Structure 1
Amino acid sequence: MKLLPELAKKVIDEVRLTLNERLIIMDEEGVIIAATEQERIGTIHQGAKTVLKNKEKLYINEHNRKTLKGVKLGINLPIQFEGKIIGVLGVTGHPQKIESYADLVRKMTELMIKETYYIEQKEWQQRGIETFFHEWMNEEKMEKSIIQRGQLLGIAVGTPYICISIEAVDSNEKSVYSFMNDWFTHAFPKRQNDRLIRTLDGDFLLLRSVKKDEHEYERIKSELQRWRTNFLKLHQMGSFHAGIGDTLVSNQLKGAYTEARKACKVANQNKAIVFYNDLSLDIIFSEINRATQTEFMNRVLCPLLKETDLMTTLRAYLHHNQSIVETAKSLHIHKNTLHYRLNQISLLTDIDVKSSLGITLFYLALLFTDENSASFPLDI
């Protein structure tokens, strides 16, 4: 491991919170890379060079200070990482006064370096895993080399998974990422091969290894609801939606992830947690952007938008499966009045409300109008 200036500065800043002493850190060349006295950074410290050569601490006193360039009174101690000297710590002051805690400062420094190293290693490993999954999500066919790379990363590529897409959103992105990982690590009843990955789109991919019994999907939905409830307690202005793919993943992730994303997109518009297997027209609608939906809705319904009675009549007519008797009864009007209104709808829109094509056009337009409603779109 190479001791870099950024890490050295971080170490000094942290140690200074505990001990208000003058400190310097030198790299393996004896150059000062961090110091409480900024003007010393970048200079050669001959005391550090001596420590690096002899591999032992050096007391700098009034006698040897005159023969060593760039030094002050104090103690220089080797910084070790996994048995190798990677730098030198200097504590400024009279050696006899600071000796009692100089070794303590060195141990604190080494612990911080070790902790930082392992955190960085874990982050690098996580980034490697995320990169692998991003590639896996886009592969039509899994090459042997990709499978082997997954195995090296500890990913059980051949394990059957249920693919779940989660959109957890809040203005504080760091809080979202931290909460999602903490919940997955400590609160989610995960199994050995389960994975939670942050995708390039900012949502989360949850791969749930499959336990084959009839209650598996109910358990998943229940756990996602519990996850969502706790997320919204902490992020009251946020949102949490999930889509559960129907296809079990073995080597092919792309298809299952696409299913989960489509279900999640529908969930984001209608309800919190959606199974892909429950989708019908929603599959088509999820592929139509909002601008296109609005344009279609306006073309079909624009002449009726200010005609409250006609809009209510149209909804009732479709809701009651084009039954004249049931529609008139629900609206408390005579059948002749209903026929008159239907004729007015056809006249204003130039669409025959009694034809199969007309019914389809009006139905879709009303669905697009009410797509953000949690209720049945044709409720009256």
Structure 2
Amino acid sequence: MSAALLTSDLARQVVERTMSVIGHNVNVMDPHGVILASGHDDRIGAVHEGALLAAQQDRVVEIAHSDALALRGVQPGINLPLRSHGQLVGVVGITGDPEEVRLLGELIRVTAELMVDQARAAESRQWRYREREEFIGHAAAGRLAPREITEWAAGLDIDLEMPRRATVVAPAARTQTHTDALLGLQRDLAQVRGVLVGRVEPQELVVFSPAGRSSNPNVDVAALLRAAEGDLRHATGRAFTGPAAFEHAYLTARDTLTVTGLIDTTGGAYDFDDVPLLALVRGMGDGWRGDLLAEPWQRLVAADRSGELVATFAAYIQQNASPTAAAGALHVHRNTVRYRLARIGDITGLRMDHLPDVLMLYLGPVLGSDQ
């Protein structure tokens, strides 16, 4: 942290806060004696020779009426060096007879130094949050070698042996309202202790929470996610440990969100354990092999303009490949389901009474390079 921490804005806050309770003018100067803030606006930007002397010699400089006549831009008063963690960051001055304002000057210095330290701590927290955010983005995307992850995590006090699961959050629609909801969630999550937040994609938030701890922040995270449902969709993956934990946890969550978006557009919250096979296959299905596996599904979707056959197949899967149970779920006769399954077979070239064929069609929505 440098002397630049004493910004004009912080100096103005010091002046406003102290002058609101005393009857004297207060000036705040940088280490070069330049007035950053003052009760007299016309003095801002001028060099205060008394403050410059206080900074250069790192001592309290009192200016009597007789001394003020010999110095440029100076009025009677007292100037006190400001320090933060042993480093001189500026000077605070109070106008008046030194005998009258000496005690007030010490009190104002304590107040100003406290405000500087608070600003320093806030900036340090913000810097650390940004670095953690950058680390999370790179680690989750697989852009870091194991050694880089280990060294960087150690510097940020991140325990790689703590099991963590990822939750990937994305807007439910591409509107400014939904984007704002994502930004708002990120700000709220930054206040939850034990949670690590980053981005791999611009419109996607990845949240890492400890897994298996009795006092973990997942309760707070879950509450924030519930509050955002409707504007945001999210999916949670499996827990992992070690240098590869961030990438693996992220991928299981991301692929869960992807596949649930393809097969279910009605909900907002999902878990890897709801669709483990689809999520894992989705991560391996890009390329020409995935295209071949997806062909039967794509033929079915193209031929099924009403969506009746797709809905029937979904019910068939949900009811463990039982035509009778699927008929009950769809509120139609069992023979209607059998007829539709036969139509699906004619269109796709697959047999709906043959498990490998059913599995191939089941995987179709999440495979293929165009998904």
Amino acid at match of 1:177: Q
Shift of 1:149: 3.5
Tell whether 2:349 aligns with 1:352.
Answer: no
Quote how far apart the aligned CAs of 1:88 are: 1.0
Asked if 1:251 is matched to 2:253, the reply is no
Segments of 5+ residues of structure 2 without an aligned counterpart are 172-177, 367-371
C-alpha contact 1:27 1:88 (8 A) present in aligned 2: yes
2:44 is the alignment partner of 1:50: no
1:163 equivalent in structure 2:
165
The answer to whether the 8 A contact 2:35-2:44 is kept is: yes
Q: What residue number does 1:123 align with? A: 126
Change (3 A) 1:2 1:41: farther
Classify 1:181/1:101 alpha carbon distance in 2 versus 1 (closer, same or farther; 3 Å): same
Amino acid at match of 1:176: L
What amino acid is the match of 1:82? H
- The letter of the residue matching 2:186 is Y
How far did 1:87 drift?
1.6
Distance in 1 between the 2:35 and 2:45 partners? 5
Match of 1:377 in 2: none
CA distance 1:175–1:72, change in 2 (3 Å): farther
- Distance in 2 (CA, whole Å) between partners of 1:267 and 1:298 is 17
Contact 2:167 2:207 in 1 (8 A): yes
Alignment-derived partner of residue 373 in structure 1? none
Post-superposition Cα deviations, 1:309-360, rounded to whole Å, max 9, x if no partner, equal xx55774587466969x9699645988xx96x999x79xxxx9348417997
Deviations 1:164-207 (A, max 9, x none): 2242766355642342233x32xxxxxxxx55232343513314
Does the Cα contact within 8 Å between 2:4 and 2:89 map onto a contact in 1? no
Instruction: Name the counterpart of 2:175.
Output: none
Contact (CA 8 Å) 1:242, 1:272: kept in 2 or not? yes
The aligned runs of 1:1-380 (5 Å cut-off) are: 1-4=1-4, 7-17=7-17, 19-20=19-20, 22-95=25-98, 98-139=101-142, 142-144=145-147, 146-157=149-160, 159=161, 161-167=163-169, 171-172=180-181, 175-182=184-191, 184-185=192-193, 195-201=195-201, 202-208=204-210, 224=218, 227-229=221-223, 231-233=225-227, 235=228, 238-239=231-232, 241-245=234-238, 248-253=240-245, 254-266=247-259, 269=265, 270-276=267-273, 278-283=275-280, 300=300, 305=305, 312=308, 315-316=311-312, 319=315, 331=332, 352-353=346-347, 355-356=349-350
Compute the displacement of 1:112 (Å). 0.6
Q: C-alpha separation between the residues in 2 aligned to 1:113 and 1:354?
A: 71
Is the 2:236–2:256 Cα contact (8 Å) retained in structure 1?
yes
* CA drift at 1:42: 3.0
Count of residue pairs brought into register by the alignment? 332
Pair 226,266 (structure 1): closer, same or farther in 2 beyond 3 Å: farther
For 1:317 and 1:154, the matched residues in 2 are separated by: 50
Q: Are the equivalent residues in 2 in contact too, given 1:142–1:252 (CA < 8 A)?
A: no
Q: Structure 1 residues 149, 280: CA separation in 2 closer, same or farther (over 3 Å shift)?
A: closer
RMSD of aligned Cα (Å): 4.6
TM-score by length of 1: 0.66
> Is the CA contact 2:146–2:244 (under 8 Å) kept in the aligned structure 1?
no
Question: Matched residues in 2 for 1:166 and 1:249: separation?
Answer: 18
